Amino acid sequence: MSGFVTAFALSFLLAFLFGYLCGSIPFGLILTRLAGTQDLRSIGSGNIGATNVLRTGNKGLAAATLIGDMLKGTFAVIVAGYVGGPNAAIAAGVGAFVGHLFPVWLKFKGGKGVATYIGILLGLFWPAALVFCAVWILMAVIFRYSSLSALIASLVVPVLLLWQQHTALAAVFAVLTTALWIMHRANIQRLLSGTEGKIGKKG
């Protein structure tokens, strides 16, 4: 029994570390440097995600960043799931999320996790990812705030997963949603004060 527990723990740890390494790839920073733009961390919010890349005025780079940050989460989940099963997939997903937030390559100062959150969800239960995107788009059209759209959409996910009787995933995404809100605490303060930048606005 102890041997089984040890093997399970090792499998979980390896999946988490694999996911972490995938998640810690800073696509926004890499792509903007390749494009010759100024350091992404010196403009807008200083974030390395797609929303801040959009503030450079390059929509193509922003789209590429969004896709890269999403698919690194999806990739981690699918590969770990194929090798180690559903539990390994979940562990890799959590690892990818943590890796994006705290990448070792950038002294643990990463993004806020929205795109990677979507990518992980896409790999674990894709209908919920579609719902997230639909809610995000609706909120973005109404309010024009990327952060607010993501925060509202993230609240829907655990409820949807619980309604679909994916109890374990609902618990995991409740934790990820909480982390997402914590990472957006500065955005929440700016939203409340009316100083949050709107979608498409430079600077």
Q: pLDDT grade, residue 54 (50/70/90)?
A: confident
**Is the per-residue pLDDT at 203 higher than 50?**
no
- The pLDDT value given to residue 201: 63
Q: Of the segments 15-19, 142-146, 199-203, which one has the largest average pLDDT value?
A: 15-19
User: Domain locations in the chain?
Assistant: 2-193
pLDDT at 145 over 60: yes
- How far does Cα 183 stand from its chain's mean position? 11
For CA atoms 127, 85, 93, 166, the dihedral sign is: positive
pLDDT, tens digit (0-9, with 9 covering 90-100), for 73-85:
999 999 999 999 9
